[in-house]
Amino acid sequence: MKRRDFLKIGSAATGAMIVGGVTPAQGAEKAKLSTDLQVEGHVREPARKIPVVTSCDVLVAGAGPAGFAAAIAAAREGSDVILLEKNGFLGGLWTGGSVLPLNCMEARTANGWKQVVYGVADELAVKLKDMDMSIQPRRSPIVDPEATKHLMRQMVNEAGVRVLYFVQAAALTMSGDRIDSVIIESKSGRCAIKAKYFIDTTGDGDLFFWAGEKFRFVKHHIGAMWRVGNLKEDNAHGSMTPIPGVGLMHTNGEYDQDGLDLFNMSRLNDSLREYMWNKTQELRSKKGCEDAFLLETPPMLGVRVTRVLDSLRNVSMADALGKTTYDDVIGIAGVDIDAELGGVKHKVGDRPEWQIPLRALIPRKTPNLVVAGRCFGYEHDITYDAREIATCLVTGQAAGAAAAMALQGRTSIQNLDAKKVQSILRKQGVRI
């Protein structure tokens, strides 16, 4: 993509260009939406100067599991880190979407199941277990969302991360291929934050989209998980949680859905909340569930995947099944569900742990951007394992270490010495 074709708005003071989803083929006069919506015309936004309200070494956009781990990893290496979050809490879909099972922490070996994910993910898992806020009815721990929010907040504060809540990343300013700042929307108005390095943990790849990186767009099923109170401990209709009498329910929702379409997401929001209410009322007719009640519908819907980065090395199911190893491995992920590749079905118990290379987090041209979470570089066939909570924690911690290492070495993300990044991760307790 040619930078000169991006929309230019009054930023003469910095010489940077403001970009927020503009398609060069359409020219500078017509801004492109993030998704394929019918456009009924255009209005012109007046040029204006946008105030810079603060700056930092590393800016992390999105405080889900990946952003949380990235911010801590970078801060522990001495970086001045700002973490942006659109909600008033940390954890993203893990806590705000009630996606409470900590899937992909384990993988099958010749000697049975074993834990493969460590580092920040393990720190948090151990703390939750010690608080009796995590139970393990099957292979994956199920956590309590409020305890998880509480611990995540404590951990980022202890690491010295500056967290800004209730802000939405809206655009970038760029100097050539390099990101100069993120423009945010908040109740303080439209303003900018400058940084030396940026980590995209938005879940939807907003930063790499605005930076003009290539990506794969995916329509997937969008569902919801919700909590019900006054359930028996032998709940046969969902999973129990660490809070006595509180169960977790789940629906896959509708398939082939666009998670970036504002009209579609509003429709799904109404539909799924109606579904959660009705299913809970139905549950009350079941034996032993007569006193059940709807305890919580999630603040966030279960958007599984939208944009996925075309990275320097996209990971595939074939890599996982073939036990592909990498010189630049930054972490190991476990497995969660059965998979099919080339018409052959592979059971969870038959699949090995799989490695994630540093290159899977690195975009092809933006020199000061790293990507983690459900939008890092992977192929469609490994979507389920790549987007799970534990995997997001793994890629997030690696992205934070990479940004800190690039800052220390004053180099581009693409020119990082993987061995030095691995050294940081080992020091932080990651199994490589």
**So what's the pLDDT on residue 347?**
72
Q: With 50 as the cut, is the pLDDT of residue 336 above it?
A: yes
**So what's the pLDDT on residue 5?**
39
Q: Which CATH class is domain 1-37+47-218+305-432?
A: alpha beta
**pLDDT tier at 25, thresholds 50, 70, 90:** very low
Mean pLDDT of all residues in 14-31: 48
Determine the residue type at 258: D
Determine the residue type at 338: D
Q: With 70 as the cut, is the pLDDT of residue 326 above it?
A: yes
**So what's the pLDDT on residue 273?**
97
Domain boundaries, the chain: 1-37+47-218+305-432, 220-303
CB atoms within 10 A of CB 136: 13
| Structure tokens, 100 | 């409470």
**pLDDT tier at 16, thresholds 50, 70, 90:** low
Q: What percent of the chain has pLDDT over 90?
A: 75
For the chain, counts of helices (H) and of strands (E): 10, 23
Mean pLDDT of all residues in 360-369: 98
**pLDDT tier at 369, thresholds 50, 70, 90:** very high
> Is 54:80 a contact under the CB 8 Å cutoff?
no
**So what's the pLDDT on residue 101?**
93
Q: Which of 27-41, 123-137, 270-284 has the lowest mean pLDDT?
A: 27-41
> Is 65:373 a contact under the CB 8 Å cutoff?
yes
**pLDDT tier at 113, thresholds 50, 70, 90:** confident
CA distance 408 to 179: 18
Long-range contacts of 335-338 (CB under 8 A, 24+ apart): 335/104, 335/106, 335/107, 335/108, 335/385, 336/103, 336/104, 336/140, 336/384, 336/385, 336/388, 337/384, 337/385
**pLDDT tier at 367, thresholds 50, 70, 90:** very high
Q: What is the tens place of the pLDDT at every residue in 149-204?
A: 999 999 999 999 999 999 999 999 999 999 999 999 999 999 999 999 999 999 99
**So what's the pLDDT on residue 292?**
94
Q: What is the tens place of the pLDDT at every residue in 43-86?
A: 988 888 999 999 999 999 999 999 999 999 999 999 999 999 99
Q: Which of 43-47, 127-131, 216-220 has the lowest mean pLDDT?
A: 43-47
Strand partners, 200: 61, 371
**So what's the pLDDT on residue 353?**
87
**So what's the pLDDT on residue 45?**
84
**pLDDT tier at 24, thresholds 50, 70, 90:** very low
**So what's the pLDDT on residue 139?**
74
Q: Which of 35-39, 70-74, 399-403, 413-417 has the lowest mean pLDDT?
A: 35-39
**pLDDT tier at 3, thresholds 50, 70, 90:** very low
Q: Which of 31-45, 141-155, 236-250 has the lowest mean pLDDT?
A: 31-45
Q: What is the tens place of the pLDDT at every residue in 298-321?
A: 999 999 999 999 999 999 999 988
Q: What is the tens place of the pLDDT at every residue in 248-260?
A: 999 999 999 999 9
**pLDDT tier at 29, thresholds 50, 70, 90:** very low
| Half-sphere exposure at residue 409, Cβ-oriented, CA atoms within 13 angstroms | 17
Q: With 60 as the cut, is the pLDDT of residue 390 above it?
A: yes
**pLDDT tier at 236, thresholds 50, 70, 90:** low
CB atoms within 10 A of CB 41: 4
Mean pLDDT of the chain, nearest integer: 90
